Amino acid sequence: MTVRFVGAGPGDPELITVKGQRLLAAADTIIYAGSLVNPALLCLAKQDAVIMNSASMTLDEVIDAIVRATGEGREVVRLHTGDPSIYGAIKEQMDALDKRGIPYEVVPGVSSFLAAAAALRCEYTLPEVSQTVIVTRLEGRTPVPEREKLAALAAHRATMCIFLSVHMLDSVVDELTAGGYPADTPIAVVQKASWPDEKIYRGTLATIARTVEEAGVDRTAMIVVGRCLDGDYALSKLYSPDFGHMFREAK
């Protein structure tokens, strides 16, 4: 029995992949990350499927549940929020299954940093603005390697998507400013991207902390920073008439 790790997407139940949806509908046991997976997705489950919320489980308990279910010949889906490769704690589960010789497959999902771009109607990689997206977080109880401190990454002034940090927005702003982003750099906070109660707060490094504090946002939010949120950019080469490529000759 192959265990399926499935990315549930950012919230909107229609943002799971077709493959993820099919596997979810066929699963005998579903173990979902209860803190962020939209429970609406569980409506896809078979009537007699066993559904477990991993929010209150330890790693060992999750692995035990998977091992027991596969041992009984059940199809198991482990449902992660967004894409499992981003802050998903999936590696330790895959390693535990490797140790036990249990095969698994990973089905990717739409990460919340991409749902945030859609909500903001922005392009992270604008020509002559930034061609780089940094996915990161502020240090919390999980340490961040010294060379990846926010201030160090800020030196690039690339587009940054900052997870798991909105409750420490003051420190985020301090580190970004110390690292080299000017105080008028645009920044947005997207709360619950793609959910019905999605909210967007926009400002600059100088103003955002106050706006977000007044709104009382303290969880499930993505911080997006960079000039890509401004209006200025160069037109792309890809669609420029004088730029030829494999599929189109220059005019």
**Helix, strand or coil for residue 162?**
strand
Which residues lie across from 223 on neighbouring strands?
162, 189
Burial (CB count within 10 angstroms: exposed 0-12, middle 13-18, buried 19+), residue 250: exposed
* Residue with the CB atom nearest ligand SAH in the bound state: 82
Q: How far is the CB of 189 from ligand SAH (least distance, A)?
A: 9
Among 20, 82, 186, 226, binds ligand SAH (CB under 6 A): 82
Near ligand SAH in 132-171, by CB under 6 A: 163-164
Q: Report if residue 6 touches ligand SAH, rule: CB under 6 A.
A: no
Of the candidates 15, 55, 11, 17, the one whose C-alpha atom is nearest the C-alpha of residue 33 is 55
CB-wise, 15 or 28, nearer to ligand SAH? 15
Q: Report if residue 194 touches ligand SAH, rule: CB under 6 A.
A: yes
Which tokens sit at 75? 């199809």
Q: Which residue has the tokens 């066929």?
A: 26
Query: In the structure, how many helices (H) and strands (E) does the chain have?
Result: 7, 10
Among 49, 86, 117, 176, binds ligand SAH (CB under 6 A): 86
CB-wise, 62 or 193, nearer to ligand SAH? 193
Q: How many chain residues touch ligand SAH (CB under 6 A)? A: 24
CB-wise, 70 or 150, nearer to ligand SAH? 150
Q: Report if residue 11 touches ligand SAH, rule: CB under 6 A.
A: yes
Measured distance CA(79)–CA(35) in Å, rounded: 11
Which tokens sit at 130? 């930034």
What number of CA atoms fall less than 13 Å from residue 80's CA on the CB side? 23
Among 10, 20, 186, 226, binds ligand SAH (CB under 6 A): 10
Q: Report if residue 88 touches ligand SAH, rule: CB under 6 A.
A: yes
SS3 helix, strand, coil % of the chain, rounded to 5? 35, 20, 45
Near ligand SAH in 222-251, by CB under 6 A: 222
Measured distance CA(82)–CA(107) in Å, rounded: 11
Q: Report if residue 130 touches ligand SAH, rule: CB under 6 A.
A: no
Binding region for ligand SAH (CB under 6 A) out of 91-99, 150-158, 178-186, 189-197: 189-197
Q: Report if residue 115 touches ligand SAH, rule: CB under 6 A.
A: yes
In the sheet that 50-53 helps form, which strands lie side by side, from edge to edge?
50-53, 29-32, 76-80, 3-7, 104-107
Near ligand SAH in 203-222, by CB under 6 A: 220-222
Which chain residues interact with ligand SAH by CB under 6 A? 10-11, 36, 80-83, 86-88, 111-112, 115-116, 163-164, 190, 192-195, 220-222
